[in-house]
Chain A
Amino acid sequence: MQQEDNAIPGPAETPPGPEGVHDHEEAEAREASPRRGLSRRGLFAGAAGSVVAGALLGAGGTAAAYSAGRADTASDEADAVDLSAAVPFYDQGHQAGIVTPPQRYATFMTFDLADSATTTDLQVLLARWTAAIGQMVQGLPIGVVEPSRPDAVGVDTGEAVGLNPASLTVTVGLGPGVFDDRFGLASKRPALLADLERIPGDRLDPALSGGDLSVQACADDPQVAYHAVRNLARMVTTTAQTRWVVMGFGRASAGAGQQTPRNLFGFKDGTRNVTGEAEHDRFVWLDDAGWMAGGTYQVVRKIRMTIESWDADRVSDQQSVFGRTKDEGAPLGGAAEFDTPDFVRTDDSGTPVIDPLSHIALAAPENNAGVKILRRSYNYTDGLNAQGLLDAGLLFVSYQNDPAHFVTLQHKLGRFDLLNEYIQHIGSAVFAVPPGPARGGYIGQALFA
């Protein structure tokens, strides 16, 4: 939703990640339930994913509504999912789950380190999490599910047994609290890591904000993602306590080769996302940052949408708010999604075609000194609120080599964005994401050297 116009369109070189992991929400929605319990390996063997997705679309009887009017035939094939795909974890330089093409589902949890936690406890937590992630991304349990001793407790909780890796990635972040005076790590604090300042428009709930550790688990099977977070939480209850969690049910950002998905407002999100290795190096990864080199900063915002009000708004106003057409996603005044927005053009009366306070105008890099951030958001729902209204929105997740880039953009958006009538930022957190582990090592190991 944020910084709608913030990247260069179109497929580019594929970042590290699984081949053939792509997306098509309608296909998924229809075949997800019956598939459970079957061997998904059988349904989605190897590279046959695109064929299967096509068959499912046919069987379902409805074409993907949001691709109506779109001439991009490659996208339907590309958005099929191969659940047997696994994303490499060790020896990648960076952690997975950042430039990995977004999987369909996410479980995002944060943790507070316990008052009693020691530096060694933190070290063991990171090492055990890393080893467990190394297991789970291969589709393997983290330990015995059914112990041979009757009085023993299982190491792995078991609900992912028999499920494929589903391109699981688990990305671990360290919050500002890790570097306070508790663990003797103040001298290792990543240079730009600090609690985000208050931003205009924030209506943050402390219970939905902050945390000493973040775990972002993304997978093409929601049970695989949930299993990962559940088991990581379970193994560290003496060291870390859960703080908040959001379950994302639909990706709201596109990676290379994926068609642009939609947020719950029904608009395409991420048309101009950061794409390609050159942009990743420029906008996402830290370089010359000591032990954090190869890492990045993660900003998370829980953004509640007032969905019923939005749905009652006339489409012309919705389009003015975003600055794009709803179906095609073209910038107003343009014809196609990936047309470059023209922020100067006016109509006959002299009114700008794209409202300067529209979401895309405020967020566009050309209006922000070229600043871009990589967005990797998910739609979420928490059911119904106390008024019986839909309680849902966007779990906004961005990666950037300086959290100030997010802050700068959000300062503008928070004050002026026409979308603010329909959204509230209710949760916020920032984390340093260390570089990826080498085999035999663990995430954040340099902290304890």
Chain B
Amino acid sequence: MLRKRRSLLGLSIATALTVGMTACSAPATAPSAAGSGSDDAAPVSNGAAQVAITLSNDGGDTCTLDHASAAAGPVTFTVTNASSTAITEVELQSDLKIIGEKENLAPGLPSSSFTVTLSGGTYTVYCPGGQPETQQFTVTGEAAAAPTGSAAQVLTAGTTEYAAWVVTQAEDLQTAVSTLRKAVDAGDLDAAKTAYVRARPFYEKIESDVEGFVLSGYAVDDNSGNLDYLIDMRASSLDDKVGWSGFHAVERSLYKDQRITDETKGYAAGLETNVGRLVTLVKALTYKPEDLANGAASLLEEVQANKITGEEEEFSHIDLVDFASNLEGAKQAFACLQPGLEKIDPELTAEVAAQFASVDKALAPYEDSTAAGGYIPWTAANRATHAKGLSQTVLALQQPLQRIAEKVATAN
């Protein structure tokens, strides 16, 4: 659960609200050596110039190109790891942006290749762990083909769609929380429970985008001004100075105490107020592509840390509802990145998509239309039986997903 602390000068200053403050910074590497290959242009066959890259270890780990230049047009790089244990990937970069790469290289595996269409100019072959790590690759001539929309443009379009989706979720959250407040005010325990279960998914889907806001006039370490605390604190994060608040304070009344008191009504009213503030904030948010990737990764961390463990919904046991909602939020972010990511790394895109499908499949057996929220209650007994399998499946998604941010942040 990574908290991005974002201090707001005032709720009205919407322009201060960009998620993830880091600029698109480029790696500090620069070509440190001329290409290791011969100066001859790479020969053309199968419609593409052919360049062989060999990784080997003869005392030190080296990355050798058989040709250091090619004519503009399609170029196929074929990578063979002969004996290098230190180098596991090779990238082709242009102005420090990744335009082609091969990963999972290890001695003994068959050669693998990637083909890119290059226009005239200087490129960098980057072999992390090699000596040297970077080498120049020169392309002579004009551009052979112009792309119809760069990866960066497509990614940016995706972030706009995502921002709009987050707003719809926040508005639905506001409606659902109002319903919850009304049911609590009416003293209707069953209706309040139903409303609680219906409201939670909207928050969980966009959790990674809405956490970390601090209200105007409060210090960053003062939880009484921390919207995330006020809306979604739990027993484990209880700050005695501020006390219980938000969703889980209501949950505790409804499910543990099984009754609605004036205190419960106060919690529900506070929740409605704070969610209202949140919606105002969310409408002003803009995102970079890496924010979507990091947000999706953060939602899966939430799943691992708080849902599968049963910590989040300690009293209602609807943790799997939250799980499904976190997952849906992550999928939405990924889907918005997918068209752009396809252009950068189709293999990774396919792998992540497959792992999302695998998590869907792992979660499906726990659907229960008779249970509140549509999933079996995540009781200690159910956790003992099923948690490991779910956790391992989510882990298998987390690993490739973590690699997206780096790719989309460097896209051009």
Contact = CB atoms under 8 A, between A and B. Distances in A.
Nearest to B408: A151
B410 interface: yes
A351 B354 CA distance: 69
Nearest to B395: A237
A134 B129 CA distance: 14
A135 B396 contact: no
A241 B106 contact: no
A446 to B, nearest CB: 11
A440 B406 contact: no
A124 B83 contact: no
Contacts of A127: 106-109
B217 to A, nearest CB: 31
Contacts of A245: none
Interface stretch (A141-149, A186-194, A365-373): A141-149
A344 interface: no
Contacts of A234: 399
Interface string B75-88: 00000011111101
B406 A152 contact: yes
Contact of A442 (B86, B107, B398): B107
A58 interface: no
Contact of B107 (A131, A155, A241): A131
Contacts of B57: 439
A148 B86 CA distance: 17
Given A132-B85, A241-B392, A149 B108 contact: no
Given A149-B27, A440-B82, A131 B406 contact: no
Contact of B398 (A148, A237, A445): A237
Contacts of B129: 143-144
Contacts of A153: 402-403, 406
B117 to A, nearest CB: 24
B106 A114 contact: no
B289 to A, nearest CB: 10
B409 interface: yes
B88 A116 contact: no
B13 interface: no
Interface residues of B, number: 42
Interface in B327-381: 351, 354-355, 358
Contacts of A123: 109
The range of chain A's interface size is 20 to 34
B124 to A, nearest CB: 13
Contacts of A134: 85
Interface string A225-262: 00000000010011001100000000000000000000
A423 interface: no
B208 interface: no
A405 interface: no
B128 interface: yes
B406 A147 contact: yes
Nearest to A154: B402
B46 interface: no
Contacts of A440: 82-83, 107-108
Contacts of A439: 57, 83, 107
Contacts of B294: 151
Contacts of B406: 147, 149, 151-153
Interface in B263-309: 290, 293-294
B107 A238 contact: no
Given A238-B355, A440-B107, 4 more contacts: A130-B106, A151-B409, A151-B410, A237-B398
Interface of B: 22, 25-29, 57, 81-86, 88, 104, 106-109, 128-129, 290, 293-294, 351, 354-355, 358, 392-393, 395-396, 398-400, 402-403, 405-406, 408-410
Which 3 interchain pairs have the tightest Cβ spacing?
A148-B27, A134-B85, A127-B106
